[in-house]
Amino acid sequence: MPITVSIVEDNDQLRATLAQVIQRAKGFQCVSHYPNAEAALEGLSKDRPQVVLMDINLPGMNGVECVRLLKQKLPDTQVIMLTVYEDTENIFNALAAGATGYLLKRTSSAELLAAIKEVVEGGSPMTAHIARKVVQSFQKPVPAPSPTEELTPREKEVLDYLAQGFLYKEIADKIGISYETVRTHIRRIYEKLQVRTRTQAVAKALGR
């Protein structure tokens, strides 16, 4: 079964090229592509792709908001954000909204396909500066945190190593767990971040 991918990108040429790259690669199938978030939200619930490549800066509704709504509809779909620059704030917001990773648009096609594959296999790429933002987010107080929203000691350890610049493999060696387990931890950290970000947003909206 090929990995089904959908693309949301407003630049027509880039969108066509990306679709072509994915369609041609063995083991990948581009099921649909959309020029904006509104059309994507409507179409994707029918397409049900495994992975969505989503531009962060979309006209109208931006990519971050689109991810948030999309994840409510399709919780199992993995979203990878596409961005031109390392825009920490936007990338972090997208991750908090439910994206699983991000790619720079200048990434080579081989790296792109590898990233899609990794995400489908349960990986969650996280860089040191994103890890730092995640740590900060967990230090912000939320009203009545439930245990499920708090990080376990092991997850904290993984996150701290990441923030210090350690690679996944190095972390695995350092604390004596497998590479796969590191990836699992990181995906769980993302999930908790999403829950927590929602709680913070709700608390903020309620003016607590």
Residues within the interface to another protein (CB under 8 A): 84-86, 88, 104-106, 108, 127-129, 132, 135-136, 139, 163-167, 170
CA distance 48 to 55: 18
Task: Give min distance, CB of 105 to another protein, in A.
Answer: 7
- Cβ proximity of 182 and 168 under 8 Å: yes
Residue closer to another protein by CB (options 38, 157) is 157
Residue closer to another protein by CB (options 110, 201) is 110
Residue closer to another protein by CB (options 36, 137) is 137
Task: Give min distance, CB of 77 to another protein, in A.
Answer: 28
CA distance 111 to 129: 20
Task: Give min distance, CB of 152 to another protein, in A.
Answer: 19
- Please, what sign has the CA dihedral across residues 148, 152, 155, 160? positive
CA distance 146 to 67: 24
- Cβ proximity of 189 and 134 under 8 Å: yes
Three-state DSSP state, 5? strand
Task: Give min distance, CB of 109 to another protein, in A.
Answer: 9
Neighbours of 136 (CB within 10 A): 11
Task: Give min distance, CB of 45 to another protein, in A.
Answer: 34
Residue closer to another protein by CB (options 16, 167) is 167
Residue closer to another protein by CB (options 46, 106) is 106
DSSP, residue by residue, 40-108: HHHHHHHH--SEEEEESS-SSS-HHHHHHHHHHH-TT-EEEEEESS--HHHHHHHHHHT--EEEETT--
Task: Give min distance, CB of 170 to another protein, in A.
Answer: 7
